[in-house]
Structure 1
Amino acid sequence: MFGGFVGSNQNQGADWGENLLNTVASNTIRHLFTQCESVEVQVRCQPSSKLLQGSIDSFKMQGRGLVIRRDFRTAAMSFETDAVALDFGSVLKGTIALKQPTQAIALVTLTETDINHAFKAELVRKRLENLTDPRLLELSGGEPVSFTDVHLELLPQNRIKLFAQTHLTNQVVPVVLSCELGLAKRRRITYENAVFEGETIPEGLQGLSRLLMGILVDILNEMVDLDRFNLDGVLLRLNRLETQGKELLFSGYAQIERIPRSG
């Protein structure tokens, strides 16, 4: 009878601890993003009493409408960790501290609209405007060159069609291309096997537009590097990407050394 009473108290404590951890984890994750439509956290721990010692079988998060650094929105993001050892005392203080690193499987969904909005972000535009690449300066007579109005359409089989306007010294040259999206070193998105799409470009500009296309592809291939977006204490890597209708899906993993305090 006494043992049953103790067991009941342990279960109540574990349930209380699990609810507290869910709350603290949800609040911590929300603070990593500029905006957050929803976040759901699920802790798996069997038996539940292990939670009071800071031992968790897995930790799962599902979020929607998560905005990173004000301009980079993900339609959906989820991750599920391996076993986690945390300092339960930190949870009581409203934070989460890991006793040792852990890994998580990550899934991210971007919409075509969100990707095109990201092309308008200052962080992206400053890598596309007022460029002094020697190849561009040769075409512009020594004046900086800008690529603007960049947007893309997602196509089947991991392909995209991309549009841009190139501002040279005294003219605007459109660029239209299609290519396949790929991954380099599991951290960089690449634009591969680019094909010049010149049907809508005036015949007199097609030669110049084709040259500009090659330069733009080189710039884009160096632009989307996950190491520029890593949160403090979290290393992100991608294993696969796939276009599905008007969405771009990524799957990969995160190596988590510590829980970041902010995005």
Structure 2
Amino acid sequence: MTTGLLPELPLQNQAAVDWVSRGVGAAIRALFKHSERLEARVRVEPVAKLLQGCVDGFELLGQHLQMYNGLRLSVLELFSNSVAIDFSQIWQGRVRLRQPVQATMRVVLTESDLAESFNTPFVLDKLAQVEPEGQSLSFQQVQIRITPDRRLQLRADVQQGAENALKVGFSSRIEVLDRRRIRFEDPVFEGDADGLVLSRALVDHLNALLDLDRLALQGTELRVDRVRLQQQQMIFYGSATIERFPTRQPQWAGA
């Protein structure tokens, strides 16, 4: 007896698994504005378990992804076991999870990804909210570099009110607090006295801003166990809890 989750599905061969993999991949691809490569694969044995919406394992590999807010990822890898899905609306771009999914993840950002992300209107607007002494700010030409001693370096030109542009800059270690807060630690500042004041305020602002609970897509919870800086890359290792299939908008979009 079938449940109607996968009507007329040819369960006698691998075509059923491929059908589901393509459908899930299409639904995930819709979350991104651009993806150079995005592959989703489900594992199930026996294939007849798909009739109950049961999957033994799920793997996602994405390369060179751009989100709708402009943020970029070079690599996104996600692995999970024991997924229960309602496939009935999968080809309408909707995947319904029948229970929360626990997955491990690896995310790679290059210097180029970081620089392009920090120069999107989405992030520039967030940076401008630092507002020291109540003056409005405008960030321009944000530069990001990963130094040979594995520190992240940020430099930018900042227009403060009607005054001339200031140069801000610092380098710092990247740490994770409570598995959810990305922290700029042990900062070393650059620039003149006015720029130093703004650079310190910027570090404090970023440390308050980079909370994964605000960055995650709706319906998901992200946790990071380790951050590694190496050879022009920032790599995050962690986990994701997916309560429901996410939407495009991160939770901080309207914050």
The interval holding the TM-score normalised by the smaller chain is: 0.7 to 0.9
Question: Is there any run of 5+ residues in structure 1 with no aligned partner, and where?
Answer: 1-9, 138-142
Which residue matches 2:154? 162
Q: 34-43 or 48-57, which moves further after superposition? A: 48-57
> How far is 1:211 from its partner?
2.1
Q: 152-161 or 212-221, which moves further after superposition? A: 152-161
- Verify: 1:187 aligned to 2:176, yes or no: no
1:114 is matched by which residue type in structure 2?
Answer: D
Which residue matches 2:73? 74
Equivalent pair of 1:45/1:51 in contact (CA under 8 Å): yes
Equivalent pair of 2:57/2:81 in contact (CA under 8 Å): yes
Counterpart Cα distance in 2 of 1:12 and 1:100? 24
> How far is 1:250 from its partner?
0.8
Give RMSD over aligned pairs.
2.4
> How far is 1:90 from its partner?
4.2
Counterpart Cα distance in 2 of 1:234 and 1:261? 10
Structure with the largest fraction of strand:
2
- Verify: 1:153 aligned to 2:153, yes or no: no
Counterpart Cα distance in 1 of 2:90 and 2:131? 50
Which residue matches 1:213? 199
Which residue matches 1:144? 136
Residue 178 of structure 1: which of 171, 183, 190 is its match? 171
Name the CA shift for 1:119/1:91 in 2 (closer, same or farther; >3 Å). Answer: closer
Counterpart Cα distance in 1 of 2:49 and 2:156? 56
Aligned counterparts, 1:36-115, within 5 A: 36-91=35-90, 95-115=94-114
Counterpart Cα distance in 1 of 2:215 and 2:197? 30
Residues 63-97 of structure 1, C-alpha deviations (whole Å, 9 max, x = no match) = 11111124111111010112112224444776422
Equivalent pair of 1:158/1:241 in contact (CA under 8 Å): no
Identity %, equivalent residues: 32
Name the CA shift for 1:104/1:156 in 2 (closer, same or farther; >3 Å). Answer: farther
Residue 257 of structure 1: which of 243, 250, 253 is its match? 243
Counterpart Cα distance in 2 of 1:30 and 1:37? 10
- Verify: 1:126 aligned to 2:112, yes or no: no
Name the CA shift for 1:97/1:13 in 2 (closer, same or farther; >3 Å). Answer: farther
- Verify: 1:16 aligned to 2:8, yes or no: no
Which residue matches 1:235? 221
Name the CA shift for 1:129/1:259 in 2 (closer, same or farther; >3 Å). Answer: closer
TM superposition outliers: structure 1 runs of 4+ over 4 Å: 90-94
Question: Is there any run of 5+ residues in structure 2 with no aligned partner, and where?
Answer: 1-8, 250-255
Counterpart Cα distance in 2 of 1:56 and 1:14? 16
Counterpart Cα distance in 2 of 1:118 and 1:88? 34
Counterpart Cα distance in 1 of 2:102 and 2:51? 21
Counterpart Cα distance in 1 of 2:93 and 2:167? 53
Name the CA shift for 1:192/1:261 in 2 (closer, same or farther; >3 Å). Answer: closer
Structure with the largest fraction of helix:
1
The higher radius of gyration belongs to 1
Equivalent pair of 1:154/1:243 in contact (CA under 8 Å): yes
Counterpart Cα distance in 1 of 2:110 and 2:38? 18
Name the CA shift for 1:262/1:211 in 2 (closer, same or farther; >3 Å). Answer: closer
TM (norm. structure 2) is 0.84
> How far is 1:156 from its partner?
4.2
Name the CA shift for 1:16/1:222 in 2 (closer, same or farther; >3 Å). Answer: same
